[in-house]
Chain A
């Protein structure tokens, strides 16, 4: 599908979605509460078939966080980016690791690096950081470690 066709189809599925263009892919902004049901539709709809989650990450905008999901379809080869704003304090969003199983490890990484709580994640704990790491999330913009961080 072209971006225009995708837009029409996605507006049907989720009328509250807003679009951004101009980047490499079609960007779709959604509310975090809609994410799980919307993700299921993206995956199971025969004309969309977004079966491949190739990048999952988070961006700290200081006032809020944004979850970014890059999706593609191995059948139709169209790509989209889903973005969802999260609160800075106690950010939380539903997990999608039942739909795209690679999300399990990716979400654990975002959990420890940004402190995002993935609701209903089967095994949400530290992945890369050492055991006993105390609550500070290293990829947040306000993280500072004067001893171990070398400023270039």
Chain B
């Protein structure tokens, strides 16, 4: 039962944050028990944007279900699609042409940059710094335009299909991406100058939302949240998919275990994404962008699991197939759901003003949590 606003028998105050609250960036509902300004408990209430995607997918074909996942983590929609396509390709042993692989990875990394930029701007705005939002969105717009040219959409790309990509890249893709990279390299350093060193910002981030390495593992955190606690967990490194094993990039780790560490991981990750794009942009192989596949896809009987590294962490797809054209059961392991489970632990004992910083650095996307 959702507690109403009021006081408990111990004299603690219960307040509701959300479901409509600017700092939750979506319909997340938190019921917080407060003693003065100190948080005693944070209870998430989910489901305001639950669409039962898992049930829906049980009646969708293996071509169709990929595009539903765009609507989960809408900031990593391309990477979600990528994971689903990889699963189908692995199960049916479809060979993906080299050109399609390079295009997919390029767009993955552009998506990651765009997602981190939005996070950076929005998180800074939550903390009261308004300028970063405009800086981030100015550069993000360039990525959106690149996406729009090639995929036809700016947010929910739906550009991947089993066996390759839907269309070849736009003729201007390489030129525009190069322009973006040249500009963005300077901009990332500018981001550091603009916000990271700011003393007010540092005070609000340092030592806030401590999540020890042990706890982060126990709570099943992944992505920048786990890497901010010093644990190596990049799926691209440990379980490489597509052409990641041939690419040079560093896994960014910070050992601060606090909000600042998670913040630094994401900022430094953008530089690594640029590095990956630079290696690929002049070396997109010629050839087909799509493998020839059967009109109707049937997965063999069995169970399949595929994971990919989205901007928020490890996204896993678990499919149980009975050999038909639709999955028997499908489970999406969304990074946000597990990361959110750590919020209560992080927040206990801190001041309510710090909750926004913690939520900001967890980088929660609510449709991803609710599914």
Contacts and interface: CB of A to CB of B under 8 A. Distances in A.
A25 B90 CA distance: 14
Interface in A118-152: 127-131, 138-139, 151-152
B2 to A, nearest CB: 6
Interface stretch (B100-108, B268-276, B331-339): B331-339
Given A24-B305, A25-B305, A138-B52, A104 B217 contact: no
Contacts, number: 90
Interface residues of B, number: 45
Contact of A57 (B1, B50, B220, B331): B331
Q: Nearest 3 A-B pairs (CB), nearest first?
A: A102-B220, A128-B47, A57-B331
A127 B46 contact: yes
B253 to A, nearest CB: 13
B314 interface: yes
Interface in A89-103: 100-102
A123 B52 CA distance: 23
Contacts of B126: none
Contacts of B56: 152
B111 to A, nearest CB: 22
Nearest to B214: A51
Given A127-B45, A131-B2, 5 more contacts: A23-B304, A102-B341, A104-B341, A131-B1, A139-B54
Contacts of A127: 45-47
Nearest to A43: B218
Given A54-B220, A102-B220, A23 B338 contact: no
B242 to A, nearest CB: 16
Contacts of A17: none
Contacts of A101: 215, 218-219, 341, 345
A59 B329 contact: yes
B15 interface: no
Contacts of B331: 55, 57, 68
A138 B55 CA distance: 8
Interface of A: 22-25, 27, 51-55, 57, 59-60, 68, 70, 74, 77, 81, 100-102, 104-106, 127-131, 138-139, 151-152
Given A74-B231, A101-B345, A68 B318 contact: yes
A104 B59 CA distance: 29
B217 A52 contact: yes
Interface in B337-369: 337-338, 340-342, 345
B101 to A, nearest CB: 20
Contact of A55 (B59, B60, B333): B333
